Structure 1
Amino acid sequence: MLNTSFLKLTKLFAVLLFLNICLSCKEEVSLNFSEISIVEDTDATIEINIPKAEGATNAAKQINNTLNQFVNNALDINNLKTNETNTTNSIAVFKKAYLDFKSQIGKTLYTDLPAWEVLVDGEIIYKSETLVSIAMNSSINTGGAHSNLIFKFFNFNIKTGKTLQTKDLINDIPAFTALAKKYYDKEILSATDDRISAFNNNDFKLPENLGFNEEGVIIFYDTFITGSNNVIEFIVPYTLANDYLNF
């Protein structure tokens, strides 16, 4: 009788231990996000709104470092490539650069120098048990005719925080490229003349970064560096893309 009761307790303990391990693993993989919001309107105008991975895990740290690096690169107008991860320091350096420039150029101007402006936004556009896709964009204006615009998708492995490249996401890049080109050609057919001249070429390639949302794979091309701000964006639905995805 005693042995039977002991065996039952042992089995119960084993089941509870197994469930606890499963739940712990599930909690470990899960990753929650909040938002960082920074607004500075003294000297220069700076507004930053980006996601923040919560927790002290290595995955959260890696994701936050990568997103912060995007912000700090936007603030690095002197292109110093310092790999600064502290946004507070980057803001201070940016504002000092503006004040120094204002002091130097202001001696030759008869009007006030317009304040420099930095806007950085980030948004989680897709999240699953294995992947989180974040769209980041920045707009920098230091007094020129056009703002300097940058748009980029970041895809992270939720468990490790690793930044996933196209080769990590797509298992057959040539075949997926051929599929994406069909949607690209269709988009070009309905585009205006200036968009056609900005994008149309015979050497079709996937963009450097892919995005993901609930509908499918986001393909995004831009010509922000030309000042024309032309974009082409379309979605390859999961019904066709799933066979080429690694997640």
Structure 2
Amino acid sequence: MKKFLLVLVFAVLFTACEEEKEPLKFTNYSVEKSYNKCNPEEGNCTFISMSYPVAEGENEAAERINKEITNHIIEVVDYRDDKKIESIEGLAERFIENFENTANDFPEQNIPWEASVFGEIPLRTEELISFRFNSQIFTGGAHGYSSVSFLNFNPQTGAQYSHDELFTSEFKGYFEEKFREDQNIPQEEPINSNGLFFEDDKFVLPQNIGFTENEVVLHYNAYEISSYADGNFTYRFPYSEVEEFLKVSIEEIPVE
């Protein structure tokens, strides 16, 4: 009986060690391509440049995170295209191809295109990996488009967090009160009373909410709730102010 118990204990310990996952490691990945190998630094050059962290290894969490990041960057850069793109390299090829086709069809409008996406990880904890992406896209027209976006992942599973998984239900009301104060919208007035574009005149959290070492960042990109001329709306709250609404740990872990 004692031998059986001893074997059982060792089996449990061995299984626990096997199931303990190594922390995810990230390395920077870059893809750049230009039309006819022109040099962007010399001007008058169509180019695309993307640089961002990718998770190393072949475990499920790393693969899931990398897939979500790839899909996100493709959506940011190629949001108007119906054709399927499955890789960042394919995205770069498509961007240059679309420019070449447009330049051939409309030679009088042959203005260089530019696309750049830069990603970083402003916060890593045992329960959260927050990615931030700065993007700038110009494909002709009166002006280009700049955006900031965030993706928040569970490092254990690689699943992307929803707002409801990150914050308690009270957070929305707290932020709406602060937002109204900043925009001089009385609490009893409709949220669009000063010309904003909230759908159905109902306040919603921004699509992009991220985390840094010291604060929560809430960011509405141009067109999300207002016109392009009004620009972006960004709000920052130190953790000491909103910690009661958080459902995940914000204590950073050492990164090798």
Q: Is TM-score (shorter-chain normalized) higher than 0.5?
A: yes
Query: What are the Cα deviations for residues 3-24 of structure 1, in whole angstroms up to 9, with x where unaligned?
Result: xxx99xx79xx68x84x76665
TM-score normalised by L of structure 2: 0.74
CA distance in 1, matches of 2:218, 2:57: 31
Taking a change above 3 Å as real, the CA distance of residues 56 and 207 of structure 1, as seen in their structure-2 partners, is same
Matched residue of 1:210: which SS? strand
Q: Tell me the amino acid that sits aligned with residue 98 of structure 2.
A: A
Contact 2:147 2:221 in 1 (8 A): no
AA matched with 1:86: S
Question: Is the helix fraction higher in 1 or 2?
Answer: 1
Which of 137, 143, 147 is 1:146 aligned to? 143
Q: Within 2, Cα distance between the matches of 1:197 and 1:38?
A: 43
1:245 is matched with: 246
Distance in structure 1 (CA, Å) of the matches to 2:106 and 2:197: 41
Question: Where in structure 2 are there 5+ consecutive unaligned residues?
Answer: 37-45, 185-192, 249-256
What code does the residue aligned with 1:246 have?
A: K
Match of residue 120 from structure 2: 123
- Cα contact 2:120–2:131 (8 A) shared by 1: yes
In structure 2, the residue corresponding to 1:135 is in which secondary structure?
strand
Alignment of 1:37 with 2:30, yes or no, is yes
Tell me which residue corresponds to 1:183: 178
Residue of structure 1 in register with 2:187 after alignment: none
Cα offsets for 1:193-228 (capped at 9, x unmatched): xxx966598743211232112223211123257432
Q: Secondary structure at the match of 1:228?
A: helix
Q: Deviations over 1:149-178 (max 9, x none)?
A: 33221000101110111111123x2x1112
Indicate the percent of aligned positions where both proteins have the same amino acid.
Answer: 23
Following the alignment from structure 1 to structure 2, what is the Cα–Cα distance between the partners of residues 50 and 67? 9
Residue 52 of structure 1, CA deviation: 0.6
Q: How many residues align?
A: 224
Residues 53-92 of structure 1: pairs in structure 2 closer than 5 A: 53-76=55-78, 78-80=80-82, 82=84, 84-92=85-93
* Contact 1:148 1:224 survives alignment (8 Å): no
Larger Rg: 1 or 2?
1
Rounded to whole Å, the distance in 2 between the matches of 1:215 and 1:186 is 23
1:113 counterpart residue number: 110
Question: Which structure 1 residue ranges, 5 or more long, are not aligned?
Answer: 1-5, 190-195
In structure 1, the partner of 2:39 is none
Residues 77, 94 of structure 1: 8 Å contact kept: no
Q: Is the 8 A contact 1:120 1:137 kept in 2?
A: yes
Question: C-alpha root-mean-square deviation of aligned residues, in Å?
Answer: 3.1
Distance 1:91 1:205, change over 3 A: same
1:86 deviates by: 1.1
Contact 2:207 2:219 in 1 (8 A): no
